[in-house]
Structure 1
Amino acid sequence: MRKIPKKYTPIVFAVIMSFLMGLFMSGVLTAILTGIDANFVSRWLQAFLRVWPIAFPAILVVAPIARRLVTMIVE
């Protein structure tokens, strides 16, 4: 299997993290706000498709800040 070059690590991390967190959070919030019924998956997908384009650049910005804060806190 061919791997992505290491220099793209921050971008690959942001894609995976934003996908997983966007999927999880949009699902949880859709269930809380609208309930789980026959149309749940459709609403969840619509919510996810709105959230992911926001989550991806947000993680690109926030992840380095979070790493610095963790470095300052952890011994």
Structure 2
Amino acid sequence: MKKLPARTMHIAMPLALTFVMTFIVSGIATIRAMGFETGMTARWMESWMASWMVAFPTMLFLMPLMRRLLSVLIETR
């Protein structure tokens, strides 16, 4: 199987992390708000896509900033 080049990691990592994280968090929030009712899955998917559309660009913007901030607090090699 052919792999993507290493230079794509800076996009692929936040893409994958936000995709999975927003799926889980929006699911928990939707179930807590609605319970297991008819239409809950559709509402969850709507909530998930809306939250992911915010989370992914936010992660792209904040990741370099967080790396710099945390490098002040965490010793690296």
TM-score (norm 2): 0.83
- Structure 1 residue ranges, 4+ long, deviating more than 3 angstroms after superposition: none
- CA distance, structure 1, for counterparts of residue 31 and residue 66 of structure 2: 29
**Alignment RMSD:** 1.4
Q: Which residue of 1 aligns with 2:44?
A: 44
Listed as ranges, the gaps of 5+ residues in structure 1 are: none
Distance 1:13 1:52 in 2: 14
TM-score calculated relative to the size of structure 1: 0.84
- The alignment of Structure 1 onto Structure 2 pairs a total of residues equal to 75
Q: What percent identity do the matched residue pairs reach?
A: 29
Unaligned runs of 5+ in 2: none
In structure 2, C-alpha distance between the alignment counterparts of 1:66 and 1:35, rounded to whole Å: 35
